[in-house]
């Protein structure tokens, strides 16, 4: 369970967890609950993920190990687009994780509600997510569960990557006991993630590396562009078969208004063969940055063309002063939006 939307709140079922005062409940899952809390030492609001007290001893051991893995993986990382973990505890009856409180919504909530994004916004969000993955991969952390539900959007569409509970890191402890020659993947962990965004090798139980995250980010980009996942099936086995053997339609083939450059980026990231994908998240970042820069250059050229005497004469003959004012406002708004996306 990742951070839940701040709009979903309820009265807390308890008043205190550790030293933290509970303000309200943010969301509840099968195994855990997320609370909004207050740290009296640092005097700041925090989000607290606490596991249910009524879990069986076996469930508790599994969840404790998963919590330790999440804390260890994120402790290696410091990035503006990765959620910050402040504290974790498995002492006594309480098992909880304390992290920064995020105001906003998960990407999955927005997509499920039919929200659409401008293409430049999509590229900027995925650029920042690729930057977060590049940082994680450089520190030998593979998330292994990149999906819209684990992407939190705060103000001005700033993404935060959350939920590193099944991430692979050098100091990870095994959640389940498996034979030593069994590849340690999500598939071996009873398919903990949502299979729609899994790479072919991850869904097949093969050994994975950082390029599985690149595939998953490509699948997220695909859905943001088209409004649908690359593959869809009721049965998990059927879905995993499609992911491994079928090539999805390119986004621009489904919607001609989708820029071919973004379509190509998504398809390259989702190549069935890891060696033919982007080899590093930084490579995907470069193509997304190039797309954003090309759009900015095209707008600059348009402004330059419109500044010539001939263009000004044409505009003065066809536009009213009110229309000119509206165009100026639109240009300023576009420039401001681009600055906010890239800051």
Count the Cβ atoms, other than its own, within 10 Å of residue 198: 28
* Cβ atoms of residues 224 and 122 within 8 Å: yes
Would you call 39 a catalytic residue per the annotation? no
DSSP SS3 for 240: helix
Distance CA 6, CA 198 (A): 27
Task: Give burial (CB, 10 Å; 0-12/13-18/19+) of 87.
Answer: middle
Of residues 34, 136, 33, 129, the one with CA closest to residue 78? 136
Residue 222: CB atoms within 10 Å: 27
How would DSSP label each residue in 244-286?
Answer: HH-PPPPHHHH-TTS-HHHHHHHHHHT-SSGGGS-SSHHHHHH
The CA distance from 269 to 280, in Å, is: 10
Nearest of 163, 273, 279, 152 to residue 220 by alpha carbon: 152
Rounded to whole angstroms, how far apart are CA atoms 124 and 130?
Answer: 10
Catalytic member of 5, 39, 134, 145? 145
Residue spans of beta strands (DSSP E) within the chain: 16-17, 20-28, 32-39, 44-51, 85-89, 96-100, 105-106, 151-154, 158-161
- What is the set of active-site residues? 145
């Amino acid at each position: 369970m990742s951070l839940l939307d701040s709009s979903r709140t309820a009265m807390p079922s308890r008043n205190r967890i550790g030293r933290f005062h509970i303000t309200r409940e943010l969301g509840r899952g099968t195994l855990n609950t997320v609370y909004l809390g207050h740290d009296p030492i640092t005097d700041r609001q925090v989000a607290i993920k606490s596991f249910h007290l009524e879990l069986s001893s076996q469930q508790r051991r599994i969840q404790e190990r998963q919590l330790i893995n999440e804390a260890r993986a994120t402790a290696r990382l410091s990035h503006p687009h990765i959620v910050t973990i402040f504290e974790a505890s498995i002492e006594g009856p309480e098992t909880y994780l304390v992290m920064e409180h995020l105001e906003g919504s998960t990407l999955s909530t927005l997509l499920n509600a039919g929200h659409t994004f401008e293409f430049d916004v999509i590229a900027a969000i995925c650029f920042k997510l690729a930057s977060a993955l590049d940082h994680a991969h450089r520190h030998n952390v593979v998330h292994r569960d990149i999906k819209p539900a684990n992407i939190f959007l705060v103000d001005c569409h700033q993404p935060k990557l959350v939920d590193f509970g099944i991430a692979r890191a050098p100091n990870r402890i095994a959640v389940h006991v498996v034979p030593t020659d069994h590849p340690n993947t999500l598939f071996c962990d009873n398919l903990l993630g949502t299979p729609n965004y899994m790479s072919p090798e991850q869904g097949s139980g093969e050994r994975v590396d950082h390029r599985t995250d690149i595939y998953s980010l490509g699948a997220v980009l695909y859905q943001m562009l088209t409004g649908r996942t690359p593959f869809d099936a009721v049965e998990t086995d059927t879905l995993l078969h499609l992911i491994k053997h079928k090539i999805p339609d390119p986004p621009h083939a489904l919607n001609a208004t989708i820029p071919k450059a973004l379509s190509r980026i998504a398809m390259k990231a989702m190549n069935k063969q890891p060696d033919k994908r982007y080899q590093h998240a930084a490579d995907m970042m470069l193509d997304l940055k190039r797309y954003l820069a090309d759009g900015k250059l095209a707008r600059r050229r348009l402004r330059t063309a419109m500044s010539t005497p001939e263009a000004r004469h044409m505009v003065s003959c066809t536009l009213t002063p009110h229309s000119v004012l509206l165009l100026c406002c639109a240009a300023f708004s576009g420039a401001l939006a681009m600055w906010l996306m890239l800051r």
